[in-house]
Structure 1
Amino acid sequence: MTAALQGSQNSDQEISASGEAQQSKESLSQIESSSLSPPDNERQPPRQDGSWWLGSLHLPESDKVRILVEYYFANVHPLRCFGFLHKPSFMQRLDAGNGRGRDDDALLLVVCALGALFFAAEHRAPTDLPANIRRAGIQWAKRAQQLVLGQLGNIAVENLMTALLLHDYHLRLSNFGDAFMLSGISARMQQALQINLEHSTDILCETGSGPSASTKESRRRLMWCCYISDSLIGNGVDQLTLIKEVDIKIQLPCCERNFLLQDACITEVLDRGQYLKFLNPERLPAHSPDNIGIRGHYIRFIAIRRKVLKYIKHLNVMKSPWLPDSEFSHLIQAAHHWYNSLPASLQFTPTAMYIRKETQQLGALCSLHALYYQTMCDLYRICAPSLYKLRYSFTYPPEQTGFLHSLQRDLFGHARNLALIAAEASRHGPHALADCWTPTVVYDCCRVLLFHATQLVEPAAERSRFLMLETLPLVRSNVKVLRSMEPMYAVAELLGNAAEKMLEKVEVGSETISSGQSIIPDEPYPTNEVDDDTRSAPGTPVQSAPDYVLNPLSIYRMTRKGIAEKHMPERQPNAFSPTATASSNAPLQRRATLQHVSLDPTAASNAPSGIPPSSQVPSYGAAQSQAAFDDLMSLFASDPSGWTWQPSETAIGSQYESNGLPPWEPTYVDQQLDAWVPMFSGQQTQQYEFQ
C-alpha cells in the first residue's frame, strides 16, 4: 500500500442534534436501566474448522484478507485517531494488487494482525484458551515489525502508520517494551515528515494541484494520532513527552463523512474558536464546529487530560483547591465545559449509542466517555491521597471538611459512571470494548469504588450499609467485564484476578472492616521481593525519576521493570546519610517475572503453520523480560518525605524539579492505575515477545 491509501471507514455521519436536545440530556442512570490456534494436544483436540490459517507465516488468500481488513476498520479504525486510512482508497488498492507482494507490505500485515485479534475473539469456541486466541495474526505483526525496523532510514507516511498500529498491537499483548520504543520511533518520524504542519495553504484543495483532500486529511489524522500516543506515554511527565502542542500547527480532523467523500473543509484548531492563522477570515465557515467529528472532541479532551496529569504531579506548588482561582477550579471548569458542549449525537444516551453502533463507532463513543470519567477520577485523587499514594497532598483545615467530603462523593460518582459505561459497552460486544486502555480503566474503577465504600465512609454510619449494597454489584459487573476482555488483552486476566480477590476480601470482611484499615494493598500482581530501606533523613526529597511519578501500570513503568540491566539512582541511599552504609549492604532482590511467549515460528515444531500453543513456549528470565509485573511497593511510600535524596548530578529528572505520583494510562492507559490489591503467589500473566 502507498501513502495514498490513507484514511478511514464507515461514515461517521454527524447526526443532527435537532429534535434530540432533550434526549441528549438523558442521564447515565438510563443506561443502568472458535479455537483459532492449535491447542495443547493433551488437553484439546485439533479444530477441524480450518481456522489455523490465522497462525500461518504468510497472509491467506484474498477473500480472507478482506475479512480481516473489514474487522480492522470496524474495530480499530474508529478509535482515538487511528482513522488515518481512507477505506475506499485502501480497498481499491487491495483489490488491484491481486495478492502480489502482500507479505512485504508492512501496513497491510499489521492491519490484518489487528483484525485477526477481533475476528478470533468473535469466533472463538467455549473451550478456547484466551492466550491462544490472542496469538491470532501474531506472525504477521512480527513480519510487519521486521520490515519497519529493517528500513528505519526509509522515513515515509506509510511506515509511520505501521509503527503506530504496531504500538497499539503490542499494548494489547502487554509487550510494553516494544510499545514504548515504537512510540519514540513514531515521534521522530512525524518530526522528520513535518506532518505537524499543513501540507499547503490550499486547505480547500481549490488549485487543482497537490495531494487530494483525503490525503491531506490523512496526514492530519496521522499527526493527531502521534500526539495522542505520545500523551498517553508521557502521563504528564515532560521528560517522557516528545510532542508539544505549541508545535502542532494543523486543524483538527474533520467528520468522517467529509473524509470518506473526500470533501475538503475548514475546521477549528486545538483551541476552541480558533483557526489557522493564514486563512482568509471571509472563507471561514459559519458553523465550523459541525465539521469536527468524534476524533476532534477526543483530541481536545486529551489536551485537558495532559494538564490534569501535570497538575497532579506538582501539587506542592499549586494553590489550595477550595480557592476560586485555584488550578483545580480551572481544570474542573475546562472539563465540565468540554462535556457540556458535546453535541447530542456524542452524549452517552441510548439513542446516541445505537446510532453510533450503526455507524460502527460505539467503541469510540464508549472510549470518549471513559476518557472523561477516568480523567475526572485522576483529578479528584487530591481528596484520597492514601488511595493513590500521592507524594504531595493538600492539608484540609476543619472549615474545609464539607468541601473535602463533596470531592469524595464526586470521586465515587465518576467511578460509578465508569462502571455503568463498562457494563453497557460489554453488553454490545467486543467492538464496544476495543480500546486497549479499557482493562486498566475498569480495574481502576474497582479500586475507587471499594476504597470509597471501605475507607472514606465510616463503617458504623447508617449510609455505609446502603453504599456497600450499591458498590458491590458495580464491582462484580466490572470483574465480569474484565473476564470478557481476556481474549483481547493480555493484561485483562491479571487485572480480573486482582479485582476478584479484592471483591472477595471485601465481601467476607465487610462487617468487620474499620475506617482507615487498608483491605487492599498496593500492587495487582505477585511479588517475591522485600524492599530495601534506602530512605534518608526525613525532609529530604526523592530524586525526580519518572519511575517514581508514574503509576505502576504505565507503559514507561512496565518497560523499566523489564530491563535487566538498569540504573536506579532514586533507589540508592544518600552517600552522606548516616544510614547509607547499612542500606547499601541490603541487596536488591529481583521480583518474579512474567511468562513470555516466543513469536518465533519455530517454537511449535509440530504445528509449523499454526499459532504455537502457549504450552510449547519456554519461560524466560529477567534478562529477557520486556515488562515484568513485579512488586511496586517502593512506589507508594507512606511517608514520601522520608525517601532517599541524591545530588542533582545523579538525578533522572523532568523539566520540573519536583513530581508527585499520579494513572493509564492508561494508560490507559496512560494507564492510571495505582495498584492496591493483595499479593498473590503463583499468579502470572502471559506476555508475547518478538524475537
Structure 2
Amino acid sequence: MQRLDEDAETCRNSESLLHVICAFGAKFLALNYTSQLSCDAILSAGNQWAKTAKARIFVDLDDLSMEKLMTAILLYDHDLRIGSYASAFMLSGMTARMSQALQLNLENSADVLCTKAESSPLDNEARRRSMWSCYVMDSWVGSGVNQLTLLEDKDLKIQLPCYGHNFSLGIPCITETLDEGKVLGFVSRDDIPPFPAQNMGIEAYFIRLVSSRKKVLRYVKQLDNSKPPWQPDSEFLQLAMEFDHWKHSLPQSLLWNPGSIYARKESSQLGALTLLWCTYHQTLVDLYRIGMPVLFRIQRNIDFPPDQQEFLDNCRRACFENASEVSSIISEALRHGIKVLADTWLCIIAHDSTKVMLYFLKLNRQSKNSLSQNEVDATVALVQRNLEALLQMRSLVATAEHCYLSVIKVMAAAGIQPQIPYGTAVNVRASHDSGEMASAPGSPVQESPENVLNPLAIYRMARTALHEKDQISASNSPSTNNPTSPATERARALAVAATPQNHHQDQQHLSTSFQAPNELPEMNHGYLAPNNAREDSFIAMSGLMPIAASGFGGSWDPADLAVMDLLDGGIAPWTQEYLTDGQSGVDPFLFPF
C-alpha cells in the first residue's frame, strides 16, 4: 500500500502482487451481493486480475523477487479456490523452488534484532512468513507422500512467525524455531528473552500443527512398517501424545472458547482460529481412522485381535468425537459470517466430518455401548449444520459445491432428510471419466502417488485434468471412431449427460427429490422410515449421471481435498450397506459427479 501511494502508475502497470490482491478483493466484495449473484459469478469475479498477475510473474523467471513469490503464493490459493487444480499444483512446485532460489529457508542476517541500519524488521519477517507459507502449501500438496514433498522440516533454519502486532509495527523479536523450546543457534544468549514463545503468534502454532500433521499422514500410509498401535511404544501412541502436548502448550488466547472467539473476531483473526482448531481435530480424525478401515480404505488394514476390541472401539469413538468437534466449530464460526470459513480446505473438512459421523451412527446400531437417543439427535443436528455451512461456502470455494451435493446424497443414503432451503439452485455437473487413468509407459502403477492419494487431492486432480485433455486430443484419432470402444462409450455417456435437456431433467429431478419437504417420507427420530418406495427413489437418483463402479484401490487421505471417489465415479462401500442392509438386488448409491 505504501508503494501504491508513492508510485501509483508503476504499481498499476507492473505490480503483479497488486493485481492478485485485487482479484481476491473482487471476490470478497461480490460476497456482499449473494442474493443477486450466482455462486459461479462470485467465484469468477476478479479472474482477469489474476490472469494478468500470472502472466507478469512468468514474463522473466530469471528476475526473481519477493513480490513475485508472494504473487505466486496468492495465485495458488486463487486457482485452488476457483477449481483450477492443475494450475494450483504447478504453482505449488514453483513457489517451493522460488523459496529455495531466494534462500528463504535461512535467516537473511544474523542480526535478528535488527540492531544495524541495513536490517529491516519488516523485510526479515516478510521473508520468514513467505517461507512458512510455502512450507504449509507444500505439506497440503504432499499429503504425506515423500515423492510429492519438496520442503523438509530439517531444512528450515529460520524462526517461527512473530506476533502480528510486532510484525505490523516492525518490532523485531526472538521466537522459537520449529522445534519447541529451541531458538536460532547463532543468537546471543543476552538477546534471548526468558520466554521466546510469548513472542509467537497464531501462525507459529499452526505451523507446528502442520508439521505434526505431516507425520500422521505418513504414518497412515505406512502402517505395514509400523508397530501395532496398542503397544506402549507404538508410533500411534507417540503421535497421540504429541497432539495432546501441542494442545496443552497453547496460550489461553488460542483456545476455542467464547472469549477467544470474540477477541479474534475483533482482530480479524477468527478465520485463522477456526482453521487452527479444525485442522487439529481433523488430523486426529486422520490418526484414529485406523479403526474405520472400510470407510477410509486404508492401504493395509490393521488386524485387531479379539483382546483389542476395546482399543478398536476407543479409536472409533475418538474418530467420531473429533469429527463432531469439527462440525461444532464450523457451526459456531458460521454464526459470525461466511467469510470466517473462507479457507479452501474447510469445505472438505465439513464433508469429511459428516462422513465420519454418519458412519459411526451405522456402527452404533451394532455396538454394545451405543449412543443414547439424545446423542443420536445431536449428531443428526450437527450433520444438518454441516450441510448449511457447505451451502453457503459454495460462493467461496468451487469444491464446496461438490461437497454439498455429496453430503446431500450421503445423508439420504443414511436415511436422514436433508434440510435444504426451498428454491436452492444446485449445479448437477457431468461426471468425470470413471475409469482409472493409465500410467505412462515405464511407470508401474504401484509406484504412482495416485495409489495413495484420494481422487480430489491436488495431484490427482491435476492428473485428471491432463487425462481429460489427452482424451480430447485423441477424439479425432481412428481408434475413437470405433463405436464399441471404451473411450467412445464414455464420450457418448458424457455427451448425453451434458445435453441441455438432460441437464434440465437432472435439476428438476434433484429439486423434486429434495426441495419439497412435504413430499418426503415420514421422519422417525431424525431418520427416514424404511419402505420400498424409498429404495426405489434412491435407485432412481443413482441414474442422475452415468457413473461406473470405481476401480480405485490403495489408501487415500480424506482430509486432503477428499470427497470419496468423486472424480473416479466411485462409491463408499458403506453407503450400499445403508441402503440394503447387506441385501443383494438393490443398486448401490452413486454420487452424481
Task: Label 1:525 to 1:385 Cα distance change in 2 as closer, same or farther (>3 A).
Answer: farther
* Contact kept in structure 1, 2:326 and 2:353, CA below 8 Å: yes
In the alignment, structure 1 residue 389 sits paired with structure 2 residue 300 = no
In the alignment, structure 1 residue 547 sits paired with structure 2 residue 450 = yes
In the other structure, the counterpart of 1:679 is 590
Pairwise CA distance, 1:104? 2.8
Pairwise CA distance, 1:339? 1.0
Q: Alpha-carbon deviations, 1:333-391, whole Å to 9, x = none?
A: 00111012111110000110000000000000000001101111111110000000111
In the other structure, the counterpart of 2:578 is none
CA distance in 2, matches of 1:188, 1:380: 34
After TM superposition, list the pairs within 5 Å mapping 1:91-110 onto structure 2: 91-110=1-20
Amino acid at match of 1:184: G
* Contact kept in structure 2, 1:449 and 1:471, CA below 8 Å: yes
In the alignment, structure 1 residue 422 sits paired with structure 2 residue 330 = yes
In the other structure, the counterpart of 1:438 is 346
Unaligned regions of 5+ residues in structure 1, if any?
Answer: 1-90, 511-523, 535-540, 568-584, 595-628, 641-659, 684-691
* Contact kept in structure 1, 2:282 and 2:559, CA below 8 Å: no
SS in 2 for 1:111: helix
In the other structure, the counterpart of 1:663 is 558
Identity of aligned residues (%): 39
In the other structure, the counterpart of 1:561 is 464
Amino acid at match of 1:109: H
* Contact kept in structure 2, 1:197 and 1:248, CA below 8 Å: yes
Pairwise CA distance, 1:96? 2.0
Task: Label 1:93 to 1:530 Cα distance change in 2 as closer, same or farther (>3 A).
Answer: closer
Pairwise CA distance, 1:589? 6.7
In the other structure, the counterpart of 1:140 is 49
CA distance in 1, matches of 2:434, 2:376: 34
Pairwise CA distance, 1:529? 5.4
In the alignment, structure 1 residue 357 sits paired with structure 2 residue 265 = yes
Task: Label 1:630 to 1:196 Cα distance change in 2 as closer, same or farther (>3 A).
Answer: farther
Amino acid at match of 1:549: V
Task: Label 1:213 to 1:588 Cα distance change in 2 as closer, same or farther (>3 A).
Answer: farther
* Contact kept in structure 1, 2:174 and 2:193, CA below 8 Å: yes
Pairing partner for 2:82 from 173, 177, 184: 173
Pairwise CA distance, 1:664? 4.0
The CA RMSD measured in Å over matched residues stands at: 3.1
After TM superposition, list the pairs within 5 Å mapping 1:236-385 onto structure 2: 236-385=144-293
Task: Label 1:487 to 1:667 Cα distance change in 2 as closer, same or farther (>3 A).
Answer: same
Amino acid at match of 2:294: S
* Contact kept in structure 2, 1:498 and 1:525, CA below 8 Å: no
Task: Label 1:635 to 1:219 Cα distance change in 2 as closer, same or farther (>3 A).
Answer: farther
Pairwise CA distance, 1:552? 1.7
Unaligned regions of 5+ residues in structure 2, if any?
Answer: 419-427, 439-443, 471-484, 496-544, 576-588
In the other structure, the counterpart of 2:441 is none
Pairing partner for 1:193 from 96, 102, 127: 102
* Contact kept in structure 2, 1:547 and 1:557, CA below 8 Å: yes
Pairwise CA distance, 1:326? 0.1
In the other structure, the counterpart of 1:151 is 60
Amino acid at match of 2:92: S
Task: Label 1:633 to 1:106 Cα distance change in 2 as closer, same or farther (>3 A).
Answer: farther
Pairwise CA distance, 1:533? 13
After TM superposition, list the pairs within 5 Å mapping 1:524-673 onto structure 2: 527=431, 531=435, 543-564=446-467, 634=550, 636-637=552-553, 660-666=555-561
CA distance in 2, matches of 1:203, 1:635: 54
Higher relative contact order (CA 8 A, sep 6+): 1
Amino acid at match of 2:219: Y
SS in 2 for 1:203: coil
* Contact kept in structure 1, 2:122 and 2:170, CA below 8 Å: yes
Q: Alpha-carbon deviations, 1:638-665, whole Å to 9, x = none?
A: xx6xxxxxxxxxxxxxxxxxxx433342
Q: Alpha-carbon deviations, 1:573-611, whole Å to 9, x = none?
A: xxxxxxxxxxxx9779758889xxxxxxxxxxxxxxxxx
CA distance in 1, matches of 2:162, 2:227: 38
Q: Alpha-carbon deviations, 1:205-237, whole Å to 9, x = none?
A: 1122x2311110100000000000000000000
CA distance in 1, matches of 2:299, 2:550: 12
More helix by share: 2
Pairing partner for 1:115 from 18, 25, 47: 25
CA distance in 2, matches of 1:161, 1:268: 24
In the other structure, the counterpart of 2:480 is none
CA distance in 2, matches of 1:218, 1:167: 18
**TM-score of the superposed pair, with normalisation by structure 1:** 0.67
Pairwise CA distance, 1:666? 3.9
CA distance in 1, matches of 2:199, 2:437: 57
Q: Alpha-carbon deviations, 1:8-27, whole Å to 9, x = none?
A: xxxxxxxxxxxxxxxxxxxx
